[in-house]
Amino acid sequence: MRFFHGISKCMEQSLHYYTGFTLVDITATGVTRGGDSQKRSQQSNWETLLQTIGLISQPMDIREPTKLEASLDYLEFGEIYQGSHTVWAWNFRVEHADVFADADGQLGRLNKYFDQVPVVCGLDETARFMLPIFFTSGSIKNTYFKIGQKDLNNI
């Protein structure tokens, strides 16, 4: 039994946590076909997000998005977004350190893969986007990532 406990502890130490933030409605509704078109579109955005992360690494221990109203003063979205908005935040982890790193930083690859991925807009988001895509940089940045597991109830 100690052997398995040691493996579990070792695996836990080798997992690397990340937190994502977006103004795009990525509500995980579970609707995968038919039914309510809005709920299907929200789920589609969530699936797109997971698949995009999956292009680089296998996300594990995924915490579904938490929807909150937040002042953007303390968040890192582009400067065209001001005041309070609906924000979706989620946590996940991966096995390999620096899997998202490149010459642009620890999250460079993740940002590049996400930049300009199409999404469905006009759902429950309060921010309005110039184009229906994830933006990870500049004044219109609507999605970003942080290293570490953040408390999603305290943003």
102-116: pLDDT as tens digits:
999 999 999 999 999
Handedness of CA 38, 44, 47, 49 (dihedral sign): negative
DSSP for residue 113 = H
What digits encode the pLDDT tens for the residues 25-63? Answer: 999 999 998 889 999 999 999 999 999 999 999 999 999
Which pLDDT belongs to residue 13? 55
Q: Provide φ and ψ at 125, rounded to 5°.
A: -75, 150
Of 53, 52, 51, 28, give the one whose Cα is nearest residue 39: 28
Q: Is 122 left (phi over 0), alpha (psi -120 to 50) or beta?
A: left
In this predicted model, what pLDDT tens digit does every residue of 75-96 receive, in sequence order?
Answer: 999 999 999 999 999 999 999 8
Containing 12, the helix (H) or strand (E) segment is: helix 2-13
Q: State the pTM of this model.
A: 0.88
For residue 11, what pLDDT is reported?
A: 43
Q: What is the pLDDT, as a whole number, of residue 69?
A: 96
pLDDT tens, position by position, 110-151:
999 999 999 999 999 999 999 999 999 999 999 999 999 888
- Residue ranges per structural domain of the chain: 2-147
